[in-house]
């Protein structure tokens, strides 16, 4: 079983009527229901929970953390970002969704501003899978449409080691690297852009398939603490022995 924690800021989907109409129990609850599977043990946490939903108890028992946030990035304490980053470096998977591109944790993982262009007009988005052999693309069509979306456009300020799995084209003409992977320490990270709060994107089967695949891909194969150990040689150092003679 992969232990998944879906973390949601849970502000706009709680407080704004037309968004609550799309996600009555919150985005985290919709994702939990849509991703439900026998191999996933899913729980949810929100910003207003004790310890901002990021207690040691939660992080220590999380294989993959899914992160949705938009309006309250700055409320997440630097201390908690540091703790989440340490967990990623030691092997915890991290799936960052949509406006999470501007979260402190994604910026910390990337080391860049993670800025992009945007337009909230409800236009059509067409995604293209350009790495069909990647585990995140398993059983995902080569191309599919999100009927109404928020446009996210290039340039997306992420580091060059981000590997593009999905690219998007928007009705208004922009393009965007909408699904990218990163590796940091022992941890695997996937950013996936579809998921604007006022459109029912997290009910769409292709979107849930991608996120579910990403969770399974990001589940840790091994964990370790990043350190810089001084180590003994595995083989004899003949040249040094010679110098001693």
Q: Which residues bind Zn ion (CB under 5 A)?
A: 99, 150, 196
Cβ closest to Zn ion, residue 125 vs residue 150: 150
Q: Report CA-CA distances (Å) from 127 to 158, 162, 167.
A: 19, 18, 6
If the CB atoms of residues 66 and 88 are measured against Zn ion, the closer one turns out to be 66
Task: Please state the closest distance from residue 149 (CB atom) to Zn ion, in A.
Answer: 9
Nearer to Zn ion, 28 or 196 (CB): 196
Nearer to Zn ion, 125 or 206 (CB): 125
CB of 150 to Zn ion, least distance (A): 4
Q: Is 125 helix (H, G, I), strand (E, B) or coil?
A: strand
Residue closest to 188 by CA, chosen among 129, 136, 137? 136
CB of 57 to Zn ion, least distance (A): 31
SS3 of the chain: helix, strand, coil, percent, to 5: 35, 30, 40
Instruction: For residues 171 and 122, give the distance between their C-alpha atoms in angstroms, rounded to a whole number.
Output: 10
Query: Which of residues 13 and 206 has its CB atom nearest to Zn ion in the complex?
Result: 13
Pairing, β 175-184 against β 40-46: unpaired
Min dist CB 181 to Zn ion, Å, is 21
Nearer to Zn ion (CB atom), residue 62 or residue 103: 103
Nearest by Cα to 212 from 49, 113, 14, 64 = 64
Q: Closest-CB residue for Zn ion?
A: 196
Angle at 45 between CA 44 and CA 49, to 5 degrees: 150
Q: How far is the CB of 95 from Zn ion (least distance, A)?
A: 16
In contact, 8 and 46? CB cutoff 8 Å: yes
Cβ at position 195, least distance to Zn ion in Å: 7
Inter-residue contact 146 to 154 (CB < 8 Å)? no
């Amino acid at each position: 079983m992969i232990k998944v924690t879906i973390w949601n800021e849970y502000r706009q989907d709680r407080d704004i009527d037309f968004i609550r109409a799309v996600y009555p129990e919150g985005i985290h609850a919709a994702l939990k229901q849509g991703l439900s599977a026998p191999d996933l043990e899913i729980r949810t946490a929100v910003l207003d929970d004790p310890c901002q939903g990021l207690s040691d108890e939660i992080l220590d028992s999380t294989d993959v953390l899914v992160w949705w946030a938009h309006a309250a990035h700055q409320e997440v304490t630097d201390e908690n970002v540091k703790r989440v980053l340490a967990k990623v470096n030691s092997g915890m998977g991290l799936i960052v969704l949509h406006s999470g591109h501007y979260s402190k944790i994604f910026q910390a993982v990337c080391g860049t501003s993670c800025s992009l262009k945007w337009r909230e007009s409800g236009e059509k988005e067409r995604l293209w899978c350009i790495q069909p052999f990647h585990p995140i693309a398993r059983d995902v069509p080569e191309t599919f449409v999100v009927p109404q979306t928020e446009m996210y456009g290039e340039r997306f300020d992420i580091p060059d080691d981000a590997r593009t799995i999905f690219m998007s084209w928007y009705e208004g003409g922009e393009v965007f690297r909408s699904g990218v992977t990163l590796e940091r320490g022992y941890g695997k990270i996937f950013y996936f852009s579809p998921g604007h709060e006022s459109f029912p994107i997290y009910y769409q089967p292709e979107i849930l398939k991608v996120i579910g695949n990403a969770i399974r891909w990001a589940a840790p194969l091994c964990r370790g603490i990043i350190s810089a150990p001084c180590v003994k040689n595995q083989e004899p150092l003949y040249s040094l022995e010679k110098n001693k003679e």
